[in-house]
Structure 1
């Protein structure tokens, strides 16, 4: 990796093609734009789509943060940071506010993002209608006709079976009043953060060869029925045992010695920043 002659791994032609695709995705919020997904030194399914977006956009003055399910030091996050840093020599950070580009798997950071930041989400399955339609040609037609009864049917079946919608993650959203979009496997708790976010959100699926986007200040609404409104995971009555935060996504943990259950911030860097700061960053929630 250290002997590559190209800044950010890719040749300029490859980066330009990905950037053109990204511009189209930004111009049509929520629309899945096909792109020529490149071979990467990591396996497809391990974040190649997000990594290709990051490598095509990053510059020498950028500061990069990479998280995996809320953690900065997971194997996936560390490997991606190492690849980007070795091919760009950009500065790395664990602090959300200090990053200009944030690449994430399965979470949106708790700290509210700014207009100067880009959030890159890794996506395994970009097509929200795949569970009801296997054909790519058919799903393209359904999107073109704005025919989303299949997505509503999936939610209806969950209500009939469980008495409520039971999407643990990747709950579909309407973007800009037009396209139904898979937000990546983020928990329902993070869906409201996409609505009117100040940051540009880019979503990349390397294996499926798709890029799509949510531009800043875009309307994003989670699919829900009027009599069964959308709701996020509830942590009422619980707080992080380290920093005392209540209004964030918490992990439920068990003490191996005592068997007692306790809760801790899933976003580890937010928890550390809160412990070290008298004025912690504002959480990026847009729901009541």
Structure 2
């Protein structure tokens, strides 16, 4: 007997990096999450070549859904060219052979950290959101066993109290990103740290949204045409960030969510957060024939 007889020939890694068992479990949990919108489903989060907290949950979902024909777009707080977005996009392409794109209209699978694209997504597209903390009750109930029971009983009184206290102290709801939202009239979820601007985009959307937290080992989903309602009082309406009157210094686009850039003289300039939409606007202004999709917002307002 020799060592060569005890070893197998070298083989490449599994398609899409994850083993078949991991993909099978994730598919089952995604189906459960779609069947019970907004409800967190536990799963055995696998190790991937990325630090926990940097998008491992979203990456595992993307690796499960991807195939060689899937056109992939990855964004990090709206930007396609950030280090995190570029690294994930390159990894997905390397282990799957899938083509990549930066155009929302061309993508089949969009993995995002903290933003929803400005252009309306179609029925055949899937949005995967990275979630650092999937538990909306954690600020009011740190004991997760009790929090699970509160979800089972639909006991969200403490969350309403937290919002009420913010109004008493500050005159308005101070919750910014991760605004708690009621899904399908039953479960309250955290829609990842997307800004308030993006939460209405999930309501009755045509596309499937999957939210995955690799570090916390939880996954939940918003199926197409599902109600997503931010928690608000009848006499204190939900308000998004007041960016409608801001203009992007690079592209000249107005009426969309902007990043604030402090200037040396103490003032602020603004740049559109959806970087590819800004690039398309610049190219269109230079005379190129660019295809734009319908946008969720028109001049800073979302049509009712």
Structure 1 residue corresponding to 2:49, chosen from 41, 55, 59: 41
Bigger Rg, structure 1 or 2? 2
Partner residue, 1:194: 202
Partner residue, 2:276: 269
Deviation at 1:248, TM superposition (A): 1.0
Q: In the aligned structure 2, how far is the partner of 1:95 from the partner of 1:212?
A: 26
Stretches of 4+ moved more than 6 A in 1? none
Partner residue, 1:281: 293
Deviation at 1:134, TM superposition (A): 1.4
Q: In the aligned structure 2, how far is the partner of 1:254 from the partner of 1:136?
A: 40
Q: In the aligned structure 1, how far is the partner of 2:19 from the partner of 2:156?
A: 39
Partner residue, 2:247: 239
Q: In the aligned structure 2, how far is the partner of 1:32 from the partner of 1:4?
A: 34
Deviation at 1:262, TM superposition (A): 2.2
**Does the CA-based 8 Å contact 2:249-2:270 persist in structure 1?**
yes
**Does the CA-based 8 Å contact 2:244-2:256 persist in structure 1?**
no
CA distance 1:113–1:236, change in 2 (3 Å): closer
Q: In the aligned structure 2, how far is the partner of 1:252 from the partner of 1:10?
A: 38
Deviation at 1:235, TM superposition (A): 1.7
Deviation at 1:206, TM superposition (A): 0.4
Map 1:1-288 to 2 at 5 A. Answer: 4-256=12-264, 260-277=267-284, 280-285=292-297, 286=302, 288=304
Deviation at 1:92, TM superposition (A): 0.8
Give unpaired runs (5+ residues) of structure 1: none
Q: In the aligned structure 2, how far is the partner of 1:221 from the partner of 1:214?
A: 12
Deviation at 1:238, TM superposition (A): 1.9
| SS of the residue 1:161 aligns to | helix
Deviation at 1:163, TM superposition (A): 0.7
| SS of the residue 2:17 aligns to | coil
Q: What is the aligned-residue RMSD (CA, Å)? A: 1.5
Paired residues, number: 285
Deviation at 1:196, TM superposition (A): 0.9
Deviation at 1:255, TM superposition (A): 4.1
Q: In the aligned structure 2, how far is the partner of 1:216 from the partner of 1:4?
A: 37
CA distance 1:204–1:168, change in 2 (3 Å): same
**Does the CA-based 8 Å contact 1:4-1:87 persist in structure 2?**
no
| SS of the residue 2:129 aligns to | strand
| SS of the residue 1:157 aligns to | helix
Q: Give the stretch that moved more between structures: 185-194 or 245-254.
A: 245-254
| SS of the residue 1:91 aligns to | coil
Partner residue, 2:5: none
Deviation at 1:136, TM superposition (A): 1.7
Q: Normalising by structure 1, what TM-score? A: 0.95
CA distance 1:181–1:287, change in 2 (3 Å): farther
